[in-house]
Amino acid sequence: MELSEITSSLHRALSELLSISELKSKDILVVGCSTSEILGKKIGSASNLEIAKAVMDGIRPLVRKFDLYLAVQCCEHLNRSLVVEGECAEKYQLEIVTVLPHLKAGGALAVTAYGEFEDPRVVEGIRGHAGIDIGDTMIGMHLKHVAVPVRSEIKKIGAANLVMARTRPKLIGGERAQYPSYYKK
C-alpha cells in the first residue's frame, strides 16, 4: 500500500466517523495504530515512522478542522498510555506520567505524535468520545461508556483491520423509561 493511499483511506474513514459521531469542539478522538500490522507483520514487530506519518497526515487535518483533541495510544510496553496535547491533559485533568515513547516502547504513531504535538504529554488513561483502532490495538479501554461500533466502507488500512467507535451516554431506567430520539441511534 502506498503512503498516499494510507493517508487518503484514513481521511475518508475518519470523515465517516465524524459524520456519524456528532463530536463537539474539544471532544477527544482516541487513535491506536500498529504500523507493523499495516505492513502485514505481527503487531509490535516492524514499527515504521513513514507509515506513522502517513497515518497522522490522514487524521490531523480533520482533527484540526473539527477542533478535537487527539489522543494517540502507546503500545502495551507503555501500558497503553496515550500522547495528548498539554491543553487536553489540563482540561480533562488527566494523570500525566513520565516517559518518552520510542519505536520499541510506545510505537511509531506515539513517537510521531510526540514529535508533532505543540506541547506533548503522556497520560495514563483517558475517556475518549470516539476512536479509531488500526491493527487491533485495543483502544476500547480508552473510550467512554457506552462505545458503539461504527461500520466503514474501509475495512483495512494496508493489511491492518480498521475498527471505529463512537460513544453515547448510558441509557438508564428500564422498560418504563423514555429516551430522546438522538440516543436511540
Cα–Cα dist 30/20, whole Å: 16
DSSP class of 29: E
Q: What pLDDT is stored for residue 46 in this prediction? A: 94
Residue 31 pLDDT greater than 90, yes or no: yes
Alpha carbon of residue 73 to chain centroid: 7
pLDDT of residue 1: 72
pLDDT, average across residues 59-69: 98
User: Quick check: 152 pLDDT over 70?
Assistant: yes
User: What is residue 79's predicted lDDT score, i.e. its pLDDT?
Assistant: 93
Q: Is the pLDDT of residue 183 over 70?
A: no
Percent of the chain whose pLDDT exceeds 90: 89
Q: What is the pTM of this model?
A: 0.93
- Mean confidence (pLDDT) of the chain: 95
pLDDT at 15: 97
The 10s digit of each residue's pLDDT in 98-108 is 999 999 999 99
Q: Minimal CA–CA distance to 70: which of 90, 56, 52?
A: 56
Question: In this predicted model, which residue has the larger pLDDT, 34 or 176?
Answer: 34
Among 94-98, 150-154, 175-179, where is mean pLDDT lowest? Answer: 175-179
- Per-residue pLDDT, 182: 67
pLDDT over 70 at 67, yes or no: yes
Q: Give residue 180's pLDDT.
A: 81
Render 130-160 in DSSP notation, one character per residue.
Answer: EEEEESS--GGGGB-SSEEEE--S--EETTE
Mean pLDDT for the stretch of residues 142-157:
95
Q: Would you report the helix, strand and coil content of the chain in percent, each value rounded to 5? A: 35, 25, 40
Which three cell numbers, joined as nine digits, stand for 106?
Answer: 510506545
Quickly state the pLDDT bin for 184 (edges 50, 70, 90): low
Taking 90 as the threshold, does the pLDDT of residue 137 lie above it? yes
